[in-house]
Amino acid sequence: MPRPRTHDLEQLMDFTEQLAVDTGAAAVTVRALSELTSVSNGAIYHAFGSRAGLVGRVWLRAAQRFLVVQSEAVDAVLSHESAPGAAIDAVIAAADAPARFLLEFPLSGRFLLTVRRSELLGANDIPTEIANDLRALDTSIAGLLVRLSLAMWDRADREAVAVIKDCVVELPTALLLRGQRTPDPAVRERLAAAVRAVLALPPPESPPSTTTTGN
């Protein structure tokens, strides 16, 4: 059975996003996608291996798109590193990235809000390649948090990175993504103000490492 061409795979993933957003994650099955697209079950299985492979690949595509939007926003600010407040502006840009992503890629943004990453990890038949790509994505995200922490305080310890994570992950989740609403300028302004307030306090010092020695 011939494998669908790359362009056809992209279309299948587009339809998968739409199906999940319109009817919920549980409704995304190979059969449902086949009925929606007139592509045979066999061709879809051949392309993605399983339902977990299909949903995992679509989720990764959306997450990687988001990371590009977020990284480019940070790069645009930190390229002017000498400007006063550039580090704070870079953290705000990273925090605002979910809003930008939802506006630029509304379907992919809604898909990420509909299909949780934990659902992928709970799948028994998730392909090894996708599991490896998920770990690589985690590494990229962690690297961005460390980069912002270094820009802010020249620190990359756990406490400093945790503050950046609060600004970049927790606050946007609470203010932008709650209720899966479309972000508006007022909400984005409140998010920026909240990030500035958090960054106004330096992160706590890292506790000194202790070494236990036997007698």
Q: What domains lie within the chain, and their CATH numbers? A: 59-199 (1.10.357)
Per residue in 162-187, pLDDT tens?
A: 999 999 999 998 887 766 566 788 88
For residues 69, 75, 76, 80, the Cα torsion angle rounded to the nearest 10 degrees is 170
Per residue in 42-63, pLDDT tens?
A: 999 999 999 989 999 999 999 9
Distance (Å) of CA 53 to CA 29, 32, 140, 174: 11, 15, 21, 30
Distance (Å) of CA 115 to CA 30, 94, 192, 200, 203: 16, 22, 27, 34, 33
Q: Which pLDDT band holds residue 215 (cuts at 50, 70, 90)?
A: very low
The total of other beta-carbon atoms located within 10 Å of residue 158's CB is 11
Per residue in 81-99, pLDDT tens?
A: 666 689 999 999 999 999 9
What is the pLDDT at residue 8?
Answer: 86
Structure tokens at 197: 């307030």
